[in-house]
Structure 1
Amino acid sequence: MFSSAPAPWTTADIPPQHGRTVIVTGATSGLGYETARMLVEAGARVVLAVRDTARGDAVAAELGGAASVAHLDLADLTSVRAFAAGVEGPVDVLVNNAGLMAVPQGRTADGFETQLGVNFLGHFALTGLLLDRITDRVVTLSSVAHRIGRIDLDDLNTDRRRYERWTAYGQSKLACLMFAYDLQHRFVAAGSRLRSMAAHPGYAATNLQSRTESFQDALMGVLNRTIAQSGTAGALPTLYAATVADLPGGTYVGPGGIGEMRGAPRPVGSTAASHDRRVQRGLWERAEELTGVTVPL
C-alpha cells in the first residue's frame, strides 16, 4: 500500500499554549502581529515587544487580556537593556521577529549599520540578556535573502564598503541564521535543554516592502497584490518553529512550495555559508564585542 503524504501544517495544528509566555518583537504589524494573534488564540500569554507602544496598546486591546505591551527599540541598546531588565519570571519562547528590509543607509543609536543593528545585533543582545529566563526555545527570523548574504567580519557595519541596501539586508539575515545555528551548537555543548530555531516567511505581503524609499516600494506593492502569500500564511513557519513540541533544535523552517516562496511550513535547508562554523564563531565574537553583551553559556 502507498502511504499518503502528510497533511499541510496549518493554524489548526498549533498545540495548546495555555500557561506559556512568549515574547514577540515587532508585534504591531505584519508577521509579528499575526504570530502574536495566533499564539493568543492558542492560549499563550504574549508580550508585545514594540517600539511604538501606542500602536502596541491598540493591538493588545484587540487581542485581549493575554497580551501585554513593553517598549523595545532594537536600534538602541539602552532600550534593549531596559526591556530585558523589566522582564520578570520565566519566558517559554522568545521570537526574534522584528526587522527592516532594504532601507536607505543609516545608523542606529549605537552607530551600527541600520539593518545589521536592528535585524541581528539588537536581537543578539536581547537574547543574551534574557537567556537566564528562557525555558524552552529561541526562534530567530531569517529570510530567503540569506542566500545573497556574505558576512564580512572585518567590515560588518559597512564602514569601508559602498552601501548597497539588498547586500546589507542579505548580510543581516545570514547573520540571523548563523546566530540561530551557533546558539544551538552552544546549547548542546553546554548540556542545555534549551533549543534554538530559525524560520523564514517566504514572500509574504507585509509593510516591510514599503520602506525602501525608492521606486522599489511601488514594484513590491504590485508583487504583494499578485504573487505574495498573506501575512497569516507568512507567520506559519514562525509558529511551527515556536510551538511544535518535538522539533529538534537547530531546525530552520520555511514554506514548502517552489523556491520556498509560499506554501505550508516545513523544515528547509540553507546555504553552505550559513553552516560555516569558523564564521559563526567569528560573528558571535564580533557581536559580543559590538554590543557588550556576553551570552551566558
Structure 2
Amino acid sequence: MVLAALSGALDTALDRTVVPGFSKIGYAVRRRLPSWPADPRPGSLVGKHVVVTGATSGLGTATAHQLSDLGAHVHLVVRNADKAEKVARELTGPSTTWVCDLGDLDSVRACAEAMLADAPPIDAIVHNAGAMPPERTESPQGHELSMSIHVLGPVLLTDLLLPKLEGHDARVVLVTSGGMYAQALPVDDPDYERGDYAPATAYARSKRTQVELLPVLTVRWAAAGIAVYVMHPGWAATPGVTESLPTFDKVMGPILRDADEGADTSTWLVAASPRPRGGGLWMDRRERSTSFFGRNSPTSDERRRMWQWVASATGLTP
C-alpha cells in the first residue's frame, strides 16, 4: 500500500515538473514503477483490424509496427501510397493501404465510403495524422489546416465509419500534444482568423480541442460501444518535430523520447485487456489531468459551442 502510494506520488510529481515527465526520463522511470501496467501479451491482436492515420512517418509508423508485431491487420490511412508501400513491406503482419488526406473533408468522405464498401469490421482507430503549417493555410473547405487535420478530419472519418466499429468494443485514440496545456479552447476563433498566426499556437489550439471534445465524443459514440481516448505521447523525436520546431529539437534533443516510446501508450490502449476506461487523456499508460491547476479549462457551454462548430463544419448532426 505504501509502495503504491509512493509510486503514484512520484508519477504525479513527474507530471507537474513537465520536463522530466514529458521526456524520455519520465518514460524510463515510470516503466520501472510497480504501478506500470503489464505489456500486451504476444499475439493479443491476432484477428483484429486497426486503422492508423498518418502511418508513413514518426509516431504513426512506430504505432503501425507495434500493432503489427502484436498480430493486428493494420490499415494504413495515408496521403502518399508510395510511402505507405515502404512501411507495409517492413511490417511483420498483413496490411491494407487507404489513400486519404485528413485535412480535406471531401477526401475523408471518399475514403470512408471506400472503407465502408470494402473494409472488414474495425476494432480500433489511432489518429496520428498531423501537421504544423509554417503559415496560416486553409483546407479545401476553408478551415485552418491544423484544426482540419487534427479535429475535423478525424471526427468525420470516425463518425462515418461507425457501422464498421459498432459491436466490437472498439477503441478510438486521438494523439495529442503537451503544447495543448498552454492553450485555451479557441471557441471564439476556431479557424484562427484573428491575430498574428503562430504555427505552434495553431497546433496546440487544435490539440486542446481534441481533449475538450472527449466528453461529447464519448457520449456520441457510446451507442456503438466505442471507448474514446486522447493520448499524449510526451516529447518525442519525430521528423515533424525536427522540421517544424528546430530550436526545440536542438535544445531538447538529448532527452526526447524515441518514436517507439512515444507510440507506446497508443498501442497499449488498443491492445490492453480489459479495455481501459474511455473518455480521458492518457500518457504513459495512465489517465492524466487535462489541465494543470485548472488553467485553460473551458466551461461546459464553451465545449458545447465548440462541438456545434465542429458538427457544422463537418456536416454532422450535433
Q: TM-score, normalised by structure 2?
A: 0.81
Residue 164 (structure 1) aligns with: 198
The aligned length equals: 280
The answer as to whether partners of 2:65 and 2:92 remain within 8 angstroms in 1 is no
**Which of 286-295 and 224-233 deviates more?**
286-295
Q: Distance in 1 between matches of 2:85 and 2:297?
A: 37
- Pick closer, same or farther for the CA change 1:198–1:14 going to 2, 3 Å: farther
Q: Distance in 2 between matches of 1:16 and 1:275?
A: 38
Give the letter aligned to residue 266 of structure 1.
R
Tell me, what secondary structure is at the counterpart of 2:143?
Answer: coil
1:118-137 map, 5 Å = 118-134=149-165, 135=168, 136-137=170-171
The answer as to whether partners of 1:53 and 1:71 remain within 8 angstroms in 2 is yes
Give the letter aligned to residue 193 of structure 1.
G
1:48-63 map, 5 Å = 48-63=76-91
**Does 2:298 align with 1:270?**
no
The answer as to whether partners of 1:14 and 1:243 remain within 8 angstroms in 2 is no
Q: Distance in 2 between matches of 1:23 and 1:109?
A: 24
> Which residue, 283, 289, 292 being the options, matches 2:312?
289
Residue 59 (structure 2) aligns with: 31
1:58-73 map, 5 Å = 58-73=86-101
Residue 241 (structure 2) aligns with: 209
Tell me, what secondary structure is at the counterpart of 2:87?
Answer: helix
Question: Structure 1 regions of 5+ residues with no counterpart?
Answer: 256-264
- Pick closer, same or farther for the CA change 1:290–1:41 going to 2, 3 Å: same
Q: Distance in 1 between matches of 2:128 and 2:46?
A: 22
CA RMSD of aligned residues (A): 2.3
The answer as to whether partners of 1:15 and 1:244 remain within 8 angstroms in 2 is no
**Which of 278-287 and 197-206 deviates more?**
278-287
Segments ≥4 residues shifted beyond 3 Å:
1-5, 7-15, 185-188, 272-276
Give the letter aligned to residue 165 of structure 1.
P
The answer as to whether partners of 1:72 and 1:80 remain within 8 angstroms in 2 is yes
- Pick closer, same or farther for the CA change 1:100–1:286 going to 2, 3 Å: same
Tell me, what secondary structure is at the counterpart of 2:161?
Answer: helix
Question: Structure 2 regions of 5+ residues with no counterpart?
Answer: 5-32
- Percent identity reads 31
> Which residue, 109, 117, 129 being the options, matches 2:140?
109
Residue 261 (structure 1) aligns with: none
Residue 179 (structure 1) aligns with: 213
The answer as to whether partners of 1:139 and 1:238 remain within 8 angstroms in 2 is yes
**What per-residue deviation string (whole Å, max 9, x for no partner) do you get for residues 189-239 of structure 1?**
x4x522111101100000111333xxx42x233245311011100001211
Q: TM-score, normalised by structure 1?
A: 0.86
> Which residue, 244, 257, 266 being the options, matches 1:229?
257
- Pick closer, same or farther for the CA change 1:84–1:15 going to 2, 3 Å: same
The answer as to whether partners of 1:49 and 1:71 remain within 8 angstroms in 2 is yes
**Does 2:184 align with 1:150?**
yes
Give the letter aligned to residue 302 of structure 2.
V
